[in-house]
């Protein structure tokens, strides 16, 4: 599916840095675009583009993480981290879909193709509010999940070192 090592290092360790930056960035751009019309006009297609890049990187990162998991000693903390990591794909997909919908319903070309009730529904305030609420929910959820995954990964990596560092000499 993707590279598992880069210059001899586990690719997961490198990819995770992109995900930790891009998923929250996509979430922030989504909230700005959905809730602030001036930001929506300025950001345009950038919001769904960043969300798409983050969405593509998530399975690459989890694939590299699964490879790393199979090449390390069995550890319940690593398994818990991997399980949490698998859930980020759903959150990232939701951020992308909501950002794409938010962008599309604001496009005159999209609105021009609609007729009757569909055009009235898309141009109504209800759609704008619904998209904004969904945007906040999926954005906050994705950032919380990134934090939870990162926290579990740090615990999995450092749990042996932290007990050794606090042990009396």
Domain membership flag for residue 7 = no
Domain membership flag for residue 29 = yes
Domain membership flag for residue 2 = no
Q: pLDDT tens digits, residue range 11-30?
A: 898 999 999 999 999 999 99
In the numeric block, which tokens belong to residue 120?
Answer: 């009235």
Q: How many domains does the chain have?
A: 1
Domain membership flag for residue 4 = no
Q: Give the chain's mean pLDDT.
A: 87
Instruction: Decide if 81 contacts 153 (C-beta within 8 A).
Output: yes
User: What's the pTM?
Assistant: 0.85
* Phi, psi angles (nearest 5°) of residue 73: -65, 150
Q: What is the pLDDT of residue 162?
A: 52
* Phi, psi angles (nearest 5°) of residue 103: -70, -45
Q: What is the pLDDT of residue 45?
A: 95
Structural domain boundaries, residue 155: 12-164
Q: How far is CA 75 from the centre of its chain?
A: 26
Instruction: Decide if 34 contacts 102 (C-beta within 8 A).
Output: yes
Domain membership flag for residue 84 = yes
Q: pLDDT tens digits, residue range 106-131?
A: 776 666 666 676 666 666 677 888 99
């Amino acid at each position: 599916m993707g590279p598992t090592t880069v210059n001899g290092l586990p690719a997961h360790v490198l990819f995770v840095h992109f995900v930790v930056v891009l998923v929250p960035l996509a979430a922030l751009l989504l909230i700005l675009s959905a809730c602030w019309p001036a930001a929506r006009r300025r950001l345009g297609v950038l919001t769904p583009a960043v969300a798409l890049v983050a969405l593509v990187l998530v399975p690459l990162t989890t694939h590299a993480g699964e490879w790393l998991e199979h090449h390390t000693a069995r550890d319940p903390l690593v398994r818990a981290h991997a399980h949490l990591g698998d859930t980020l794909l759903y959150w990232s997909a939701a951020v992308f879909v909501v950002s794409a919908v938010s962008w599309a319903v604001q496009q005159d070309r999209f609105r021009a193709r609609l007729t009757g009730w569909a055009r009235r529904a898309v141009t109504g305030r209800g759609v704008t509010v619904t998209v904004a609420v969904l945007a906040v929910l999926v954005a906050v959820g994705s950032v919380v999940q990134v934090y939870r995954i990162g926290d579990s990964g740090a615990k999995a990596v450092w749990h042996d070192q932290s007990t050794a560092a606090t042990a009396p000499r």
